[in-house]
Amino acid sequence: MKKIFKLNDLDCANCAAKMEDGIKKIDGVNSATVSFMAQKLTVDADDAKFDSIMKEIVKVCSRIEPDCEIVLK
Partner 1 sequence: MTKKQKKSLIRLGVGVAFLLFAILFPVDSFAAEPISTWIKLALYMIPYLIIGGDVLLRAVRNIFHGEIFDENFLMCVATVGAFALSQFEEAVAVMLFYQIGEFFQSYAVNRSRQSIAAMMDIRPDFANVEIDGKLTQVDPDEVEVGTIIIVKPGERVPIDGVVTDGASQLDTAALTGESVPRSVKIGDDVISGTVNMSGVLSIKTTKAFGESTVSRILELVENASEKKAKSENFITKFARYYTPAVVGIAAILAVIPPLLFGGVWADWIERALIFLVVSCPCALVISVPLSFFGGIGGASKCGILVKGSNYLEALAEVKTIVFDKTGTLTNGTFEVVEIAPVGITKEQLIDLAACAESMSTHPIALSIKRADKGEVDSSRISDIKEIAGHGISAVVDGKSILAGNAKMMQDNGIAFTPYSDAGTVVYIAADGKFSGYIVISDTIKGDAKDAISQLKALGIEKTVMLTGDREATAQDVAKKLGLDAYHAELLPDDKVSMVEKLLAEKAAGTNLAFVGDGINDAPVLTRADVGIAMGAMGSDAAIEAADVVLMNDNPSDIALAIKAARKTLRIVHQNIVFALGIKLLVLILAAFGDATMWEAVFADVGVSFIAILNAMRCLKVK
Strands (E), 1-73: 2-8, 29-35, 40-45, 69-71
Residue 58 binds partner 1, judged by CB under 8 A: no
Residue 54: other Cβ atoms inside 10 A: 17
Residue 17 binds partner 1, judged by CB under 8 A: yes
Shortest CB 32 distance to partner 1, Å: 10
Q: Return d(Cα 49, Cα 54) in angstroms, integer.
A: 9
Residue 52 binds partner 1, judged by CB under 8 A: no
33 burial via Cβ count (<10 Å: 0-12, 13-18, 19+)? middle
Residue 36 binds partner 1, judged by CB under 8 A: yes
Nearer to partner 1, 31 or 48 (CB): 31
Q: Which residues bind partner 1 (CB under 8 A)?
A: 9, 11-18, 20-21, 33, 35-40, 42, 63-64, 66
